[in-house]
Amino acid sequence: MKLSSFKLATAAALLGASLLAHAAPLPAPGDTLPVAPHVKVGKLPNGLTYYIQRNGRPEKRLELRLVVKAGSILEDEDQLGLAHFTEHMAFNGSTHFKRHELVSYLQSIGVKFGRDLNAYTSFDQTVYMLPIPTDSKEAVEKGFLVLEDWASGITFNDEDIESERGIVLEELRMGKGASDRMNQVLYPKLFNGSRYAERLPIGKADVLRTFKPEAIRRFYRDWYRPDLMAVMVVGDIDPAEAEKLVKAHFGKLKNPANARPREYAAIPERKTDEGLVITDREAPADVLYIRYPIVPQPEDPTYAGYRRDLVEKLYGAMLSQRIMELTQQADPPFIQGGSGTGKVVRGYRSFSATALLGKGGHVPAINALVQEGERARQFGFTASELDRAKKTMLRNYERMYAERDKTDSAAFVAEYIRNFLEGEPMPGMQNEYAYAQALVPGITLEEVNAAVRAAIPSDDKKLVILMGALKDRAPPTGTELLAAIDQAHRQTVTAREDKAYASSLLDKPPAPGRIVAEQENKALGTTELTLSNGVKVVLKPTDFRNDQVLMSAVRFGGQSLFGDADIFNARYASALAAQMGALNYSPADLQKVLAGKSVSAGATLSDLSDNVSGSAGSADIETLLQLIHVKLTQPRRDEMLFNSFIARQRDMARNALARPEAEFSDTVRTTLYGDHPRVARTPRPEDFDKVQLDRVQQIYRERFASAKGMTFYFVGSVDAAKLKPLLATYLATLPVGDIPVAYRDTGVRPVRGVVKKEVRRGKEPKSNVSITFTGDAAFSQAEQLRMQALVEVLNIKLTEVLREQLGLIYGGGASGGVGKLPYPNYSVALALPCGPENVDRVIAAAFAEIRKLQENGPAAADLAKVKQSWLTSHRRALRENAFWIGQLQAAQLNGFAPESILGFEERAAAVTPADVQAAAQRYFDFDNYVQVVLYPEAG
């Protein structure tokens, strides 16, 4: 067993070595890193930068981007929020596309579209994203035209600006609530008086309501100019052709005369320690945040800089591991914590530590975080910690290198955006892999320890923030908060002990079983194996990725088999098993044993089924099978970790209902299902009193100690010949004791008739409308598609009318589906966040659109848009391992022939406007729905 994984690893190394022979020589420390050879970076005479790369994944697609180095930080006082408003206007009419034409055109070529869906605005940049098909020259040409319009042709008509105000104000309303209120206090301190605190991208309501059209046109004129722009073209295109198109569309852009200087805001240095306490009773959690000084640190494009980055990542990983382990105590100091060095905004970095607080409050959290920092600063890390962190890092590089020709265009583009905006080097994976292999082994413990010492300042100029509902005890003052930090610093810390771990899970593999039957399915490219214990395995080798194997297994059963007294034991059984580990390893120990392996696996007890899932790199499949084997057959019992989990869950539940939205969604569920105990609602602390360690273990073992009736699927870069003996060893040897493998219908049914409720919670003038239609359905794959078509054409109309025409909503819409289990049923729901004053209008307008669909059916063009986007995503999904494993499993659960996966395009083509109209009549019954509306509380 060890031998075979050794062989695989060696083969990978040899392969890597032979390819590396062709890589460029390693740079000297001071050398600037080269630009990846597969991307062409150029600059037009007007200063516009472009990035062009041919890439075949996904096929016949092109990722276009317009990146503008302009965001909210550049706004004048009369423009607060207009960088983002400009992004909205890019979809509201331009030189070549009238208002609404652009969105409609892109939908027609299968691009789901809308402002914010395909663009974002932040402090220092605005990014427009346009994924298009390359089937026709015309679509490509038009894609460049869209980008050109965004760069220089947005119309900004007065009346279009007027009608967009309502939508942006609704977007601002959606962001209101506890965290927004707390951030208003926090940001000025966090950015230490920098301009950043005054320029949040969403802007100010009064400016958005009243700005003069001239103000937004001025923003566009000043900042949308070629010397601040980049165009990115990555995908299925001839680079020479792409370059021609870039020149033709962007060469003519001109910079304004007397261009305003593009300056970056500075963050002033903090001069003193400061403690800040912010309370808000609607905050769902209490948080502690220690921000050490923010230091200016521009990107270092050299080889030495790359090495420094690796060192930072190594100590970050080790520190995170140590802090995670602090939560694995019976009385954890916090629910969750973290610390490390990270970017604040462009050009600034800082070390910070943060914790989600439990009922112990801020003092134990401060003690733990400060002491862990001190421990790292004074004693550094141990040799074996560094060894594991390096192994993990190298394995990650190996995987990325293996997938370098299977990388999505969008991932390349993301790298180029960082390069353009921040100067992050982009030497390409071939080079990066060579650098990591050359550098990582030589990084010494002394070097890492010195770096962490330099990163964690021991004393002054910290900003310490405590924020949340803070309802358990009188909140401290800022001064008391700082005193607690000082106190923590005065405590003595000791070094961590170095501990060695086994390097593999099992000393000895089980005596193998056999494969007793094998059946090939040519159409699907799958092979079904029957193992000697009756367990089935379906293999689907693919070339979608080079180093990715996904695994999943399923059978009926799940929580449904346990009585009402066991609801909470069953609900948390698999989560607790994951918390306690396997064999004699805690989860933290398991991580260490598996360091350097790319592998994960776990079991989940769902409502109606038992599931096992996992993933691994190609070289780590045997480890994956071992992990599954031990997790199923030898779950670990650990009272301390059990108590720790329960304590953390209780703490998390304590404030969970503070958010008005939590009570709202609970009311929706309890109204729909009449408070049925099986319907999960937001957890309450007392729920966890009902969870018992012995029973939880018993339930887990009852379901997972037997693999009877399980079908395992493996999809990805698997070599069937190599995998088979491993399956015989690890899966054919799983016990198959006799257990029930059918689910039980626990009788959860929605109410009948029209039921309306109101929830009054929250201080902000915000409402939310939830309307759910439910009932029995005739289930089939065709019916699933009709429902999906109905939901999607309705969403097109809701956006067009409620948002674009009436300005009543920013987001929201319909969602729904037809299900088979535990009985054939449907559910379709409207979720429409809006202003409290508009609730009745929103409901009336949504119902009117539904009635139109019932009376006239959808416009043929709308249905065509929906189908086009289905095809686009389906063809793409056919090249994804995750899609296949999900579909194979869904076919099993729903009783479909797996070949029906291949019939999707035919089923999609068969959906007619009349089908959608009939579905609208069937599923929207105005005598049978549940309506819950959230209003702000009185006073």
Closest approach, Cβ 116 to Zn ion, in A, equals: 4
Rounded Cα distance between 201 and 196, Å, is: 10
Binding part of the chain for Zn ion, among 111-119, 146-154, 464-472, 485-493 by CB under 5 A, reads 111-119
**Per-residue b or e along 648-687, where b marks 16 or more CB atoms closer than 10 Å to that residue's CB:** bbbbbbbbbbbbbbbbbbbbbbebbbeeeeeeebbbebeb
CB of 175 or CB of 541, closer to Zn ion:
175
Give the phi and the psi of residue 106 in degrees, each rounded to 5: -65, -35
Binding part of the chain for Zn ion, among 27-35, 116-124, 407-415, 778-786 by CB under 5 A, reads 116-124
Q: Which two tokens stand for residue 618?
A: 């190609």
Contacts with Zn ion: how many residues (CB under 5 A)? 2
Closest approach, Cβ 344 to Zn ion, in A, equals: 24
CB of 171 or CB of 862, closer to Zn ion:
171
E strand segments, 103-148: 119-121, 126-133
CA dihedral (436, 427, 402, 886) in degrees, to 10, reads: 120
3-state secondary structure string, 899-910? HHHHHHHHHHHH
- The DSSP line for 349-364 is EEEEEEEE--TT-HHH
Closest approach, Cβ 199 to Zn ion, in A, equals: 16
Closest approach, Cβ 86 to Zn ion, in A, equals: 10
Closest approach, Cβ 91 to Zn ion, in A, equals: 10
| In 547-620, alpha helices (H) | 567-580, 587-593
| 320 within 8 A of 453, measured Cβ to Cβ | no
Determine how many CB atoms are found less than 10 A away from the CB of residue 507: 8
**What single-letter DSSP state applies at residue 775?**
E
CB of 172 or CB of 440, closer to Zn ion:
172
CB of 116 or CB of 374, closer to Zn ion:
116
Residue closest to Zn ion (Cβ): 116
Give the phi and the psi of residue 815 in degrees, each rounded to 5: -150, 155
| 846 within 8 A of 798, measured Cβ to Cβ | yes
| 320 within 8 A of 326, measured Cβ to Cβ | no
Angle at 229 between CA 227 and CA 235, to 5 degrees: 140
Q: Which two tokens stand for residue 578?
A: 């994951």
From residue 626, give the alpha-carbon distance in Å to each of 620, 663, 728: 10, 43, 12
Helix (DSSP H) and strand (DSSP E) numbers for the chain: 29, 23
- The DSSP line for 434-479 is HHHHHHGGG--HHHHHHHHHHHS--SSS-EEEEEE---SSPPPPHH
Closest approach, Cβ 127 to Zn ion, in A, equals: 13
Determine how many CB atoms are found less than 10 A away from the CB of residue 744: 16
Rounded Cα distance between 934 and 664, Å, is: 6
Q: For the segment 491-550, give every residue that binds Zn ion (CB under 5 A).
A: none
Closest approach, Cβ 215 to Zn ion, in A, equals: 17
User: In the chain, what is the straight-line distance between the N-terminal and C-terminal CA atoms, in Å?
Assistant: 70
CB of 174 or CB of 599, closer to Zn ion:
174
CB of 89 or CB of 151, closer to Zn ion:
89
Determine how many CB atoms are found less than 10 A away from the CB of residue 380: 21
CB of 79 or CB of 889, closer to Zn ion:
79
Closest approach, Cβ 605 to Zn ion, in A, equals: 40
Closest approach, Cβ 115 to Zn ion, in A, equals: 6
Q: For the segment 737-756, give every residue that binds Zn ion (CB under 5 A).
A: none
Print the binding letters for residues 120-159 with Zn ion: x by CB under 5 A, - otherwise: ----------------------------------------
Q: For the segment 153-172, give every residue that binds Zn ion (CB under 5 A).
A: 171
Q: For the segment 268-307, give every residue that binds Zn ion (CB under 5 A).
A: none
Rounded Cα distance between 337 and 355, Å, is: 4
From residue 87, give the alpha-carbon distance in Å to each of 83, 795, 926: 7, 22, 39
Closest approach, Cβ 50 to Zn ion, in A, equals: 27
- The DSSP line for 24-41 is PPPPPTTSBPPPPTT-EE
CB of 116 or CB of 325, closer to Zn ion:
116
Rounded Cα distance between 363 and 374, Å, is: 16
Closest approach, Cβ 168 to Zn ion, in A, equals: 6
| 598 within 8 A of 546, measured Cβ to Cβ | no
**Does 175 contact Zn ion by CB under 5 A?**
no
**In terms of Cα–Cα distance, which of 110, 218, 208 is closest to 162?**
208
Of the CA atoms within 13 Å of residue 746, those in its CB half-sphere come to 19
Closest approach, Cβ 145 to Zn ion, in A, equals: 23
Closest approach, Cβ 829 to Zn ion, in A, equals: 24
- Residues facing 769 on adjacent strands: 832, 933
Rounded Cα distance between 329 and 642, Å, is: 9
CB of 116 or CB of 309, closer to Zn ion:
116
Closest approach, Cβ 202 to Zn ion, in A, equals: 8
Closest approach, Cβ 171 to Zn ion, in A, equals: 5
Closest approach, Cβ 417 to Zn ion, in A, equals: 19
**Does 59 contact Zn ion by CB under 5 A?**
no
Binding part of the chain for Zn ion, among 20-28, 110-118, 685-693, 927-935 by CB under 5 A, reads 110-118
CB of 164 or CB of 651, closer to Zn ion:
164
Determine how many CB atoms are found less than 10 A away from the CB of residue 43: 12
**In terms of Cα–Cα distance, which of 587, 592, 586, 588 is closest to 388?**
592
From residue 700, give the alpha-carbon distance in Å to each of 139, 505, 555, 612: 54, 21, 15, 12
Closest approach, Cβ 733 to Zn ion, in A, equals: 56
Rounded Cα distance between 889 and 710, Å, is: 11
| In 521-659, alpha helices (H) | 567-580, 587-593, 621-633, 639-654
Q: For the segment 855-884, give every residue that binds Zn ion (CB under 5 A).
A: none
Closest approach, Cβ 70 to Zn ion, in A, equals: 16
CB of 171 or CB of 849, closer to Zn ion:
171
Angle at 583 between CA 582 and CA 584, to 5 degrees: 105
**Does 116 contact Zn ion by CB under 5 A?**
yes
Rounded Cα distance between 249 and 257, Å, is: 21
Q: What is the contact surface with Zn ion in residues (CB under 5 A)?
A: 116, 171
